[in-house]
Amino acid sequence: MKPLVRWLSLLAAASMSLPPATPSPAGSFDPQYENRREAKNIIFMVPDGMGLADVTAARIHKNGIDGPPLHFETLEHIGYQRTYSENSTITDSASAASAWACGEKFNNGEICFHGDGRPNPASILELAKGMGMTAGLVATSTITHATPAAFGAHVANRHCETEIARQYLQATKPDVLLGGGLSKFQPAIADPCGSSGDLIPRAMKAGYTIVRTKAELDAAVSDGACKLLGLFAMEGMTPDHLRTPGTAEPRLPEMAAAALILLEKNKNGFFLMIEGSQVDWANHANNPQYQVGETLAFDDAVKTVLDWINANPGRKEHTLLIVSPDHETGGFAVNGPTDRLLRSGEYVTAGWTTGGHTGSDVPVWGQGPGSSEVGRALDNTDLYRIMKNLLKEND
């Protein structure tokens, strides 16, 4: 217990004149209540497949060669992590996210599920839910894609996306699910795990408000929805650089803002994973406009989260924010130009060594309680332990 919290508790016990602490409505701030509660929030943000050179390219495009840092670059602690999986020097997104979510190495393709029969550990999201916290998953891929799936499902094969959806609704029950992937909830054929059927009626039965557009998302938030399933595209969402004004799909920062409003209603704290899924797809495609667009859209979402955290001292004291790519994709390098300095709006001269993932270590940024632990050379499984230690303090 923090000294200020202990002092307030003693004061409250000694004096009946202090009003009882009551939760404040979502979005408002009651300093007395915030200082008393000891809940810890964890926000885990993933720019999938983003290497350090991607950061250089996006920052130069936005701010010029000597301009200010991107928002996630301003976090207090910076380290880097190994990403290898149990069976490969080069991880995929499933085993990398499983290492974070469940704290062990998994084979490529496994979603917190050991194919050899070893027991599957509970994920950080499941631990948080078990402690009375709320939880959310936000992504610009299908919401059942490998990275969010590792936090909310246990399956042998990442392609079992309908089974992953079923487990979200019937087993792990995240309070907020926002992304693409309506086709996985209403599949034309069974997935590789044999799961099929229309899951939307099941979601409604489980208490989810279903939204398909940004307007519906905004309406659900202002109507006070507590459980929200947003499926804004049949598959992945529209890449940021291809969007036109007036699109019905929310952007990643808008989904992040909606998730924060809903999850904060629970005063026991929350776990929220937010993924900029398509930095990876842009690097697979060796496409600089796509890569910079997705990296900057992800950074906009980080700004939304930082603005939320910094809006009051209680949030700042009690929220761990980690920003971490899962692996590098493309072997992307900044090769030029060598004869002049780039200005904002320009693209670096670049090259890729592969259309796949690489085994390079990737950076990790952090701020808030427990975040000093990320400021060193890590293994990806260490991030699980850093988050779990914070949950223990909630217990």
Identify which range of 202-210, 309-317, 323-331, 370-378 contacts Zn ion by CB under 5 A: 323-331
User: How many angstroms separate the CA atoms of 61 and 64, rounded?
Assistant: 6
Return the number of the residue (110 or 326) whose C-beta is nearest Zn ion.
Answer: 326
Active site residue 17: no
**Which residue has tokens 């776990």?**
271
- 162, 142 contact by CB (below 8 A): no
Which residue is nearest to Zn ion, using beta carbons?
93
Min CB(370)–Zn ion separation in Å = 24
Min CB(357)–Zn ion separation in Å = 7
Return the number of the residue (41 or 93) whose C-beta is nearest Zn ion.
Answer: 93
Q: What is the 3-state secondary structure (H, E, C) of 78-108?
A: EEEEECCCCCCCCCCHHHHHHHHHHCCCCCC
- 312, 34 contact by CB (below 8 A): yes
Say which DSSP state 314 is in.
H
Identify which range of 90-98, 102-110, 309-317, 335-343 contacts Zn ion by CB under 5 A: 90-98
Residue tagged active-site, from 24, 28, 85, 93 = 93
54 is a site residue for Zn ion (CB under 5 A): no
Return the number of the residue (163 or 326) whose C-beta is nearest Zn ion.
Answer: 326
**Beta strands 349-351 and 333-336: pairing type?**
antiparallel
Min CB(280)–Zn ion separation in Å = 5
User: How many angstroms separate the CA atoms of 7 and 16, rounded?
Assistant: 15
**Which residue has tokens 């999850």?**
263
Please give the residues from 342 up to 361 whose contact with Zn ion meets the rule CB under 5 A.
none
Min CB(149)–Zn ion separation in Å = 12
Binding characters for Zn ion, 2-41, by CB under 5 A (x = yes): ----------------------------------------
The angle that helices 252-263 and 214-222 make with each other, rounded to 10 degrees, is: 20
345 Ramachandran zone, left/alpha/beta (phi>0; psi -120 to 50): left
Of 326, 328, 373, 382, the one binding Zn ion by CB under 5 A: 326
Which stretches does DSSP call E strand in the chain?
41-47, 77-82, 134-142, 176-180, 209-211, 228-231, 270-276, 319-323, 328-329, 333-336, 349-351, 357-358, 362-367, 377-379
Min CB(3)–Zn ion separation in Å = 42
Min CB(260)–Zn ion separation in Å = 24
Of 48, 126, 275, 328, the one binding Zn ion by CB under 5 A: 48
Q: Tell me the site size for Zn ion, rule CB under 5 A.
A: 5
Cis preceding linkage at 337, omega within 30: yes
- 374, 389 contact by CB (below 8 A): no
Return the number of the residue (139 or 176) whose C-beta is nearest Zn ion.
Answer: 139
Min CB(197)–Zn ion separation in Å = 28
* Strand order across the beta sheet in which 362-367 lies: 209-211, 228-231, 176-180, 134-142, 270-276, 41-47, 319-323, 362-367, 77-82, 377-379
Identify which range of 24-32, 46-54, 207-215, 216-224 contacts Zn ion by CB under 5 A: 46-54
Of 35, 83, 93, 120, the one binding Zn ion by CB under 5 A: 93
Return the number of the residue (195 or 380) whose C-beta is nearest Zn ion.
Answer: 380
Return the number of the residue (146 or 350) whose C-beta is nearest Zn ion.
Answer: 146
Say which DSSP state 65 is in.
T
* Amino acid identity, position 144: T
Identify which range of 6-14, 87-95, 163-171, 374-382 contacts Zn ion by CB under 5 A: 87-95
Catalytic positions, written as ranges? 93
The residue ranges that bind Zn ion (CB under 5 A) are 48-49, 93, 280, 326
